[in-house]
Amino acid sequence: MTTEVHIDWRGETHFVGRLHMAERGQAVTFEYGAPWLERGDAFSIDPTAIPLRAGAHHSATLFGVFQDCGPDRWGRLLIERAVRKQVLASKPFRDLDYALALEDFSRIGALRFRNDGPFLAEGDGKLPPMVKLQALLRATEAIHSSSETAADLRFLLGAGSPLGGARPKSAILLPDGQLGIAKFPKPDDTRDIASGEILALSLAAAAGIQTVGHQLVSVGNQSAAVITRFDRERGQRIPFISANSLLGLSPGDAGAYTILADGIRQFGDKVSDDLRELWRRLAFSLLASNYDDHMRNHAFLMRKPGHWVLSPAYDLNPVPEIDRSHVNKTAISEDQDEPSIEGALAVAGRFGLKPTEAKTILGEVLSVVSKWKKVGKKLHLSSGTLQSYASAFEHPVIEEARRLLRQ
C-alpha cells in the first residue's frame, strides 16, 4: 500500500512524499517527493528517522512522526469497537491503519494523507461544542461498560475522539472557535484525575512554565479537564513531533531529561530559552510528583523551517505516593534515574545553567508548589480531592529542595 503524505505549512497544503507499507508486517519505506526537496524552505518531517534527502528511508516499524498522529490505547479501543459494530468498514491491522482512521480535521499535528482521491478521513470539520460534554461523557461511559451503541461510536468517532493517550477524551470546539480536548473520568478512577491535572497546570503556569490553555469544567457531578489545542493557531495547523520521535527512541527506551536537552541543542530554534524552560519543567515534575512525564508527554512545534521549539507543557499529572509504583518516571540523566533535587542540580550545566541560576529557578518553583492547597481551593476543589493529592505535594523531595536552598 502506498499513501501520499502532505503537510499544512503556513496556510497551504504541500505534497511531501510517499509512504510505502509492506504487504505483510509493519515494515515501511518513506521517500520525499522531488517538488518538496526542491523547495527553498523544505524541512524534514522527522529529522532523526527521516532526514531531508533524496532516496528511500526504511524502517522495520512505522516512523515516529506518523505514530505521533495516531491513537493510543483509548483511540484503538474505540476504533476496534467501531469495527465490531460495523461502524467502520475494516479492522486496522497496522499502526498506520489506525492513524489513517482518525478524522482529518482533528488529527494531531499538520500531516495529512491521501490515496489519489480526497484526503483520508476528511469529515465535515464540525466538532461538538462544550455544551455537549454531558453527552460525550455518557458515550465514553458506555464504552467502558461495553454497552455502547453504534450511535455512541459514530458520535465519538465523528467528534475526533481517538486522540493520543490512555484515558477517554474527545476533540471539542471551544466558545472562542479554537480546538480543544475534553478529558473525561473513568468509572474505576480512585480520585478526581481532571482536578489533579488542572491543579498541576495552574501551578506550573504560576511557576513560570509555558502551559496549554486549561480549565476545569463540571459535567453533572463529575469533572472534565478542557485543554486548548496547541497544534492549531488561527485556524492553521502547526507541525508537531513528540520528544520520543525527535530523539529517535526505540520501544522500551525511556530516555532522560539530559538526552532531551541534547536534542534541543541539535534540533532546536530558541535553544537557550528552551533549555532553561526544560530544567524548570524538570524541577516542577520532581516537586509536584509529575511521574507521567514520559517522552510522548514532551513535544515540539515547528515555527521556522527545520527548527523545533518546545510545545507548551501538557499532561501534567500529580501522582500520589500510593500510585507511584505503577508509573515509570523519566530519568533526570543517563546516570540518575531516582527523583532527586541534588541530581537535578548536578546536571544543570547540561541545560546551560550556572548553579546559582538553577537554584533561583528551583526557589521560584518551590515557592509556587508549596501553595498547592491554596491554589486548589481557588479552583474550588473539594477537601476530599485535596486530601487525595496531599502526598503528591508533601514528600521528601520537597524537604530536600528546602534543605538545599538553605545551604
DSSP string, 174-238: -TTS-EEEEE---TT-SS-HHHHHHHHHHHHHHTT--B--EEEEEETTEEEEEEE-SSEETTEE-
pLDDT at 328: 63
> Each residue of 40-70: pLDDT tens digit?
999 999 999 999 999 999 999 999 999 999 8
13 vs 217: CA distance, rounded Å: 35
**Sequence-ordered strand ranges (E) for 115-174:** 169-173
Check pLDDT > 90 for residue 154.
Answer: no
As assigned by CATH, the class of the 235-406 domain is: mainly alpha
> Each residue of 205-221: pLDDT tens digit?
999 999 999 999 999 99
Check pLDDT > 80 for residue 17.
Answer: yes
Q: Residue 327 — pLDDT band, cuts 50, 70, 90?
A: low
For the chain, the average pLDDT equals 92
> Each residue of 103-149: pLDDT tens digit?
888 899 999 999 988 998 777 667 888 889 999 999 999 998 999 99
* Cell output for 158: 465523528
314 vs 317: CA distance, rounded Å: 9
What angle, rounded to 10 degrees, do the helices at 73-84 and 133-144 form? 80
- The yes or no reply on domain 130-228 and CATH 3.30.70.580 is no
Check pLDDT > 70 for residue 280.
Answer: yes
Whether this model's pTM surpasses 0.85? yes
Torsion angle of the four alpha carbons 107, 244, 211, 138, in this order, in degrees rounded to the nearest 10: 50
Tell me what percent of the residues of the chain surpass a pLDDT of 70.
96
**Residue spans per domain, the chain:** 2-114, 130-228, 235-406
Check pLDDT > 90 for residue 174.
Answer: yes
pLDDT at 111: 97
Task: For residue 114, give the amino acid letter.
Answer: R
* Cell output for 103: 478524522
Tell me what percent of the residues of the chain surpass a pLDDT of 90.
71
Check pLDDT > 80 for residue 251.
Answer: no
pLDDT at 160: 52
Torsion angle of the four alpha carbons 342, 344, 349, 351, in this order, in degrees rounded to the nearest 10: -160
pLDDT at 23: 82
Could you give the count of Cα atoms lying within 13 Å of 395 in the half-sphere of its Cβ? 23
Task: For residue 161, give the amino acid letter.
Answer: S
Task: For residue 157, give the amino acid letter.
Answer: L
Chain-centre distance of CA 203, in angstroms?
19
